[in-house]
């Protein structure tokens, strides 16, 4: 009996001195621009226009707790002066005052501010999870609330993998976020001339493929 009591006391004492399991905390992530891109598309009856930009022109950051991703916050910025649709004259036209008006520094970037994330489960390493990302998209100083359909993958690297990948900017904790959402030119104070209705749709489809690493 005494032996059993002694063993019980020893077990409780051992548990007491063990380090407590640390609760997960929000992680600050910085976008790896070299592995990120943003795309816009207008699909009109006579023409489909697709413009893309990638690299240093796409920047942003996220703060996410993998165990509670619904509380995630962040901001994404895209330099509108660098969108490339494959036709130089068309790209130049899109920078004019009647459209993006990027000569005005305040209009140079499209900004998406993440306000909340509707996601069913915690993020698990190596598993892609669907999510609805609610936020505010600002183009030409006109903010609009949007909801993006997203797919989020949490990528956890071992110390050996980090050592091999750190020169590319990757760390122990990384996120891959792919998202699609829409807006319109008119939402942001731009009007498509009647003459162009068959070539440029008022509807804008946006798509992002973004990679983040722990700061």
Strand boundaries in the chain, DSSP class E = 27-31, 37-43, 48-54, 58-64, 73-79, 109-119, 128-139, 142-156, 173-184, 203-214
d(CA 41, CA 80): 14
pLDDT along the chain (215 residues), means of 10: 35 33 75 97 96 96 96 97 96 94 97 96 95 98 98 97 97 98 97 89 97 97
Q: Which CATH class is domain 24-214?
A: mainly beta
pTM for this entry:
0.85
Per-residue model confidence (pLDDT) at position 103: 96
The residue ranges of every structural domain in the chain are 24-214
């Amino acid at each position: 009996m005494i032996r059993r009591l002694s063993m019980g006391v020893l077990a409780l004492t051992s548990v007491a001195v063990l380090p407590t399991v640390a609760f997960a905390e929000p992680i600050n992530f910085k976008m790896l621009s070299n592995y990120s891109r943003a795309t816009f598309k207008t699909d009109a009856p006579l023409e489909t226009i697709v413009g893309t930009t990638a690299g240093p022109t796409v920047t942003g950051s996220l703060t996410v707790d993998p165990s509670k991703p619904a509380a995630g916050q962040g901001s994404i910025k895209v330099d509108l002066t660098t969108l490339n649709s494959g036709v130089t004259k068309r790209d130049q036209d899109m920078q004019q005052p009647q459209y993006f008006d990027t000569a005005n520094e305040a209009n140079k970037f499209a900004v998406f501010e993440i306000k909340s994330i509707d996601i069913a489960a915690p993020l698990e390493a190596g598993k892609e999870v669907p999510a609805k990302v609610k936020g505010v998209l600002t183009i030409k100083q006109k903010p609009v609330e949007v909801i993006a359909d997203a797919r989020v993958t949490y990528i956890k690297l071992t110390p050996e993998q980090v050592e091999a990948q750190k020169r590319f900017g990757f760390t122990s904790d990384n996120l891959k976020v792919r998202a699609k959402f829409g807006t319109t030119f008119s939402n942001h104070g731009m009007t498509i001339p009647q003459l162009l209705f068959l070539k440029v749709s008022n509807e804008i489809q946006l798509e992002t493929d973004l990679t983040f690493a722990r700061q």
